[in-house]
Amino acid sequence: MDEYQLLNLMNLSFVSNAMYFVGMVLFIWLGFRFANAIYEDGNAPLISKVLSSLYYLCVAGFFYFNGQVAGGILDTYSALLIDIGADSGSRLAAYSENPLGPGKALGVFFVVLILFMQLARTWIKKP
């Protein structure tokens, strides 16, 4: 494959990953709706809190996995581009190694932060 074909396949992979990301954003929004409803109720049943917490954990896991897939796409295609001698491969590899890149430390922190915010809103009682 040449450079153009590899870059095209990488972009196609990122498009499907982005569509999955949009779904995750909707699921996170729904989780915040759950958390807010439980918080505003004040006397929500324990089963509601437990099931909502399980939902938050599942969505956080899916969101984390989506970031890892995006990081994997970038890593794989940058390595393939380097193998064929394309200059764009080394530039993409620099993005891939950045801690702010997809699937790296900041992305993981963001997932944990969202999860903590949802769990706190669910389990901390309204004053």
Mean pLDDT of the 121-127 span: 92
Mean pLDDT of the 46-65 span: 98
In one letter, which amino acid is 52?
S
Please determine, for residue 97, whether its predicted confidence score (pLDDT) is greater than 90: no
pLDDT grade, residue 47 (50/70/90)? very high
Share of residues in the chain with pLDDT > 90 (%): 79
pLDDT grade, residue 126 (50/70/90)? confident
- Nearest of 127, 121, 126, 124 to residue 33 by alpha carbon: 121
Mean pLDDT of the 9-24 span: 96
Instruction: Using CB atoms within 10 Å of the CB of residue 72, give its burial: 0 to 12 exposed, 13 to 18 middle, 19+ buried.
Output: middle
Mean pLDDT of the 81-106 span: 90
Look up the pTM and report it. 0.88
Q: Break the chain into its structural domains and give their ranges.
A: 3-123
